[in-house]
Amino acid sequence: MTTVPLSGRRAQAARNDEVILDAAREVFVADPAAPIAAVAHKAGVGISALYRRYPSKEELLAKLCLDGLLVYVGIAEEANAALDAGADPAETFATFMRRIVDADTHSLTQKLAGTFQPTEDHRLSAIRAGELNAHLVERLHEAKVVRPDLVVADLGQVFEMIAAVRFGDDERRGQLRHRYLDLLLAGLLLPGATALPGPPPYVGEFASRWDKAT
């Protein structure tokens, strides 16, 4: 957010930094396998403008994914802080889920995973996110606002399921995602129905997601 209006060429370049990242986020969220030319087109710039900033497609994807992880961590930290401050647990949880869904961080992290070689930063942020999730779920169990058989790994699956709702423009998609999030929350929050079948997912089942294909 450069408030100082740099003149001419240099200002354009600074603006492009942001325009390109926004375009890349939008394009790759819509289609993680999209070509780089699509990003350039969406941003209204040439391909050179991209390669001037990122040495390869992989690094651009890595950057987007890391940004997504950081956003997730930020929202999760706020939720944990709210709980520590004595906020209503059920409502805090619902708000947390809605904020994550709105930020669509899942599309930037899980769906981009495997398209680039994760760095140490990714690993650390992912671990941090895991800790926050664990802490959050623990608090929710203590407060007895969620069904007892809810496990941490369920959170990721729920986000993944919600991300599978992909219709319409941004606004309509947001509406529908909130609809199905509420549906899932109705099943997640107490009073719950009968016990869920089968062994719950464990975190390790998600790990292979990060293996780079080639």
Partner DNA sequence: AAGCTCTGGAACGGATCGTTCCGCTCTGCT
Partner DNA sequence: AGCAGAGCGGAACGATCCGTTCCAGAGCTT
Instruction: Using CB under 8 A, list all residues that contact a copy of itself.
Output: 157-158, 160-165, 167-168, 172, 175-176, 178-180, 182-189, 192-194, 196-201, 205-206
User: Which entry of a copy of itself, DNA, none binds 187, CB below 5 to 8 A by partner kind?
Assistant: a copy of itself
Q: Which C-beta is closer to a copy of itself: that of 29 or that of 49?
A: 29
Task: Choose which of 52, 144, 166, 172 interacts with DNA (CB under 7 A).
Answer: 52
If one asks whether residue 22 binds DNA (CB under 7 A), the answer comes out as no
For 130-171, the three-class secondary structure string (H helix, E strand, C coil) is HHHHHHHHHHHHHCCCECCCCCHHHHHHHHHHHHCCCCCCHH
Q: Which two tokens stand for residue 122?
A: 């990714």
How many whole angstroms separate alpha carbon 172 and alpha carbon 176? Answer: 6
- Closest distance to DNA from the beta carbon of 196 (Å): 37
If one asks whether residue 6 binds DNA (CB under 7 A), the answer comes out as yes
User: Which entry of a copy of itself, DNA, none binds 176, CB below 5 to 8 A by partner kind?
Assistant: a copy of itself
Q: Which C-beta is closer to a copy of itself: that of 82 or that of 161?
A: 161
Phi/psi for 45 (5° steps) reads -125, 175
Q: Hey, CA dihedral for 161, 96, 188, 102, is it positive or negative?
A: negative
If one asks whether residue 210 binds DNA (CB under 7 A), the answer comes out as no
- From residue 171, alpha-carbon distances to 25, 157, 168 in Å are 17, 23, 8
Q: Which C-beta is closer to DNA: that of 51 or that of 206?
A: 51
- Closest distance to a copy of itself from the beta carbon of 181 (Å): 9
Q: Which C-beta is closer to a copy of itself: that of 28 or that of 62?
A: 28
- From residue 190, alpha-carbon distances to 65, 143, 186, 194 in Å are 33, 11, 8, 11
Residue type, 194: T
3-state secondary structure (DSSP) of residue 39: helix
User: Which entry of DNA, a copy of itself, none binds 194, CB below 5 to 8 A by partner kind?
Assistant: a copy of itself
Q: Which two tokens stand for residue 72?
A: 């997730």
Q: Which C-beta is closer to a copy of itself: that of 55 or that of 197?
A: 197
